[in-house]
Structure formats: C-alpha cells, structure tokens
C-alpha cells in the first residue's frame, strides 16, 4: 500500500509540475524595493535658545546601512551656489567655529561646534544657514568623491531637493 501511495504521489507531482516563461527579474534590495537616495534642503538659525543645534527628522525611511552626507551653502559666486561637505571650520581671533552634524536612522542633527563664543558671532555665521542633506545607500558611496555635491547628485540620480523651510 505504501508503494502505491508513493507512486501516486510522484505521479501527481509530475502531472501538476509545469514550466512556463520566466517572469521579469526582481530588484535587489530590502523587501524587493529599489534602493535610492533621498535628499532635502533645510534653512537653519543657530542661536542660544536652540543650543546652537537643530534636529530634523528625515521624513522618509532610512535603513541602518545608509550614509547621511550634509553640505552647507558656503558662498555664491557669479550666481553659482558653492556647497561644501561638512564639517567645515572657520578660525576667529578667539577660537574656532565648526559646522558639524551627526545622524541616526531617524534624524540628522546639525550643530555648531568649536571654541569660539557662539553668542558673539555675526548673524552671517548663524542665521539663515542653508544645508543639503543627502541619504545615500552605503553601496553607492564606495569610490565616490563625496566632497563634490554635484558628483553625489549625479551618481545617485538626485535631480532636486525637497525644501524644508
């Protein structure tokens, strides 16, 4: 009886097994999603009331292996914005000012660091500071000149920045 049941089972498998056309290829990544970069632009006022820092939630999913890069609008020359990867430091007679950041999977913190007295800084160093925050999948950073915002945008197909001000 066992042999008959085994034979019936194998026969059923052969009859119901079929092969058709191969489906479309899937995407590599988490849960079958496409892994892409996300970016936004934020304008910040650093002051004593906010302890010279601001914490900004991303507003999109960030995976544990993603890398956050932050650029500051350093100057404008002939109508062209010049962006610098932070940290960026400026020396003053009484000490050093550094624009810096850190990040988690949930948010990015932009802050002033250094030895200068922040409360004595002219408004051009603390008010209306513009930053571009780019979250890049870690695999997309290898071999990339991350100090060049345009190169990062091109390599990660970033065409615009969502404004958060």
Query: Domain with 44 in it: what CATH number?
Result: 2.60.40
State percent of the chain over pLDDT 90. 50
Range of the domain at 68: 36-163
Domain contains 20: no
- Per the CB < 8 A criterion, the answer to whether 56 and 41 are in contact is no
Q: In Å, how far from its chain's centre is CA 6?
A: 57
Tens digits of residue pLDDT in 77-119: 999 999 999 999 999 999 999 999 999 999 999 999 999 999 9
Question: How many Cα neighbours within 13 Å face the side chain of 54?
Answer: 18
Residue 4 dihedral angles phi and psi, to the nearest 5°: -65, -45
Does a structural domain hold residue 66?
Answer: yes
Domain count of the fold of the chain:
1
**pTM metric for this prediction:** 0.69
CA dihedral 66, 44, 93, 86 (to 10 degrees): 20
Q: What is the pLDDT of residues 35-87, one digit of tens each?
A: 556 889 999 999 999 999 999 999 888 888 888 999 999 999 999 999 999 99
Per-residue model confidence (pLDDT) at position 140: 59
Would you say residue 157 lies in a domain? yes
């Amino acid at each position: 009886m066992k042999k008959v049941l085994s034979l019936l089972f194998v026969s059923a498998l052969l009859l119901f097994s079929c092969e058709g056309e191969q489906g479309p290829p899937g995407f590599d990544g988490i849960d079958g999603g496409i892994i892409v970069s996300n970016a936004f632009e934020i304008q910040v006022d650093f002051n004593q009331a906010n302890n010279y820092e601001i914490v900004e939630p991303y507003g999109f999913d960030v995976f544990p292996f993603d890398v956050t890069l932050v650029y500051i609008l350093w100057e404008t020359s002939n109508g062209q914005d010049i962006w610098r990867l932070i940290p960026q430091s400026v020396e003053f007679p009484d000490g050093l000012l550094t624009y810096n950041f850190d990040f988690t999977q949930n948010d990015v913190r932009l802050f002033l660091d250094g030895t200068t007295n922040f409360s004595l800084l002219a408004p051009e160093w603390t008010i209306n500071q513009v930053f571009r925050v780019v979250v890049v999948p870690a695999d997309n950073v290898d071999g990339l000149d991350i100090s060049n915002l345009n190169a990062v945008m091109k390599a990660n197909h970033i065409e615009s920045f969502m404004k958060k001000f």
